[in-house]
C-alpha cells in the first residue's frame, strides 16, 4: 500500500507538499525495481528518464544514473544517499558534457580558446561535483541552493557564447554551434530548475499533485526536451562545420 507523508522515515522525506503515493522502504533492489509495475509518486520521474535513456543512448549515462536514483529512492537510507549523490554528479556531467561540443565547434580554428573554455567549464564542474559530495547538500532544505548552483554552472556558458558572438557575429555562431538550439536548451534547463526549486504546482495545492504533474516531473521533462534540443543543434553544427560551406582553418 502507498504511504502517506506522515508514515515516512525522515530519510525518505524530500517534498512536504507531496502528501501521498510513497513507496514502502524496500531494502531490496529487486523490490525497488518491481515498483516499475505499479503507480506511485515516482513513476513519472522514472519513466520520463527510462524511455529517453533507451531512445537517446548518447545521454544514457546521465539518464540511467537519474533513473537509478529514482527507483532505488525507497531502498534504504544508505542506498538512497549514494543514488542521490550519483544523480547530482550526473547533472554536472550532463552540463559539462553538453558544453564541450559547442566550445569545440564555436572556436573550431582557435585551439587555445578551446582549451581555455573547456578547462574553465571542467574546473567549475569539478567544483560543483565536490560540493555535491557534501552530505548536507542532499538535504531538502538545500533544494534552492542546488538549483542555483546548477543554474550558475549552466550560465557560465555565456562567457564563451558572448565571446564567440563578439568575434564571429550572431549569424556565424548560429551556423557554427546552432546558437538558437543552444539558447533553447539553456532556457529549458533554467525554467525546469526554477520550477523544481519553488516546487510548483504542489506547493499551491498540497496533495493534489502527488502522483501527476509534480515540479520534479516537470523538471525531468524539461531536461529531456533540453537534451533533444542539444542533440538536434549538435547535428546541425556537425553538418555545417564538416561541409564545404564552412570556413576551414
**C-alpha–C-alpha distance, residues 162 and 173, integer Å:** 10
What SS3 string covers 45-112? HHHHHHHHHHHCHHHHHHHHHHHHHHHCCCCCHHHHHHHHHHHHHHHHHHHHHHHHHHHHHHCCCCHH
Question: Is 216 annotated among the ligand-binding residues?
Answer: yes
Task: Give the torsion through C-alpha atoms of 211, 50, 229, 149, to 10 deg.
Answer: 70
Question: Is 75 annotated among the ligand-binding residues?
Answer: no
**C-alpha–C-alpha distance, residues 98 and 153, integer Å:** 12
Alpha helix locations (H) across the chain? 29-34, 43-55, 60-71, 77-106, 111-132, 143-155, 158-168, 170-177, 179-198, 215-241
Supply the DSSP symbol for 146: H
- For residue 86, the tally of other CB atoms under 10 A from its CB is 17
CA-wise closest residue to 104 among 182, 189, 171, 18: 182
In terms of Cβ atoms closer than 10 Å to its own Cβ (0-12, 13-18, 19+), residue 245 is exposed
Residue ranges of the annotated binding site are: 216, 220
Q: Which residues are annotated as a binding site for Zn(2+)?
A: 216, 220
Amino acid at each position: 500500500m502507498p504511504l502517506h507523508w506522515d508514515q515516512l522515515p525522515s530519510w525518505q522525506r524530500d517534498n512536504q507538499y507531496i502528501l501521498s503515493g510513497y513507496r514502502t522502504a524496500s531494502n531490496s533492489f529487486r523490490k525497488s525495481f518491481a515498483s516499475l509495475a505499479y503507480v506511485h509518486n515516482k513513476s513519472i520521474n522514472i519513466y520520463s528518464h527510462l524511455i529517453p535513456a533507451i531512445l537517446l543512448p548518447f545521454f544514457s549515462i546521465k539518464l540511467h544514473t537519474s533513473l537509478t536514483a529514482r527507483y532505488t529512492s525507497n531502498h534504504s537510507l544508505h542506498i538512497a544517499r549514494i543514488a542521490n549523490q550519483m544523480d547530482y554528479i550526473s547533472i554536472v556531467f550532463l552540463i559539462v558534457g553538453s558544453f564541450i561540443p559547442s566550445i569545440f565547434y564555436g572556436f573550431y580554428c582557435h585551439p587555445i580558446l578551446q582549451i581555455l573554455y573547456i578547462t574553465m567549464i571542467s574546473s567549475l564542474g569539478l567544483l560543483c561535483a565536490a560540493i555535491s559530495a557534501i552530505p548536507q547538500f542532499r538535504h531538502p532544505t538545500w533544494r534552492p541552493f542546488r538549483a542555483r548552483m546548477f543554474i550558475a554552472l549552466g550560465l557560465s556558458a555565456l562567457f564563451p557564447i558572448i565571446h564567440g558572438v563578439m568575434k564571429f557575429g550572431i549569424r556565424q555562431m548560429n551556423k557554427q554551434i546552432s546558437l538558437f538550439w543552444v539558447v533553447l536548451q539553456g532556457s529549458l534547463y533554467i525554467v525546469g530548475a526554477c520550477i523544481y526549486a519553488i516546487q510548483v504546482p504542489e506547493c499551491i495545492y498540497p496533495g493534489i499533485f502527488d502522483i501527476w504533474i509534480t515540479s520534479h516531473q516537470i523538471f525531468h521533462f524539461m531536461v529531456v526536451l533540453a537534451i533533444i534540443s542539444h542533440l538536434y543543434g549538435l547535428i546541425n553544427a556537425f553538418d555545417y562545420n564538416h561541409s564545404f560551406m564552412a570556413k576551414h582553418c
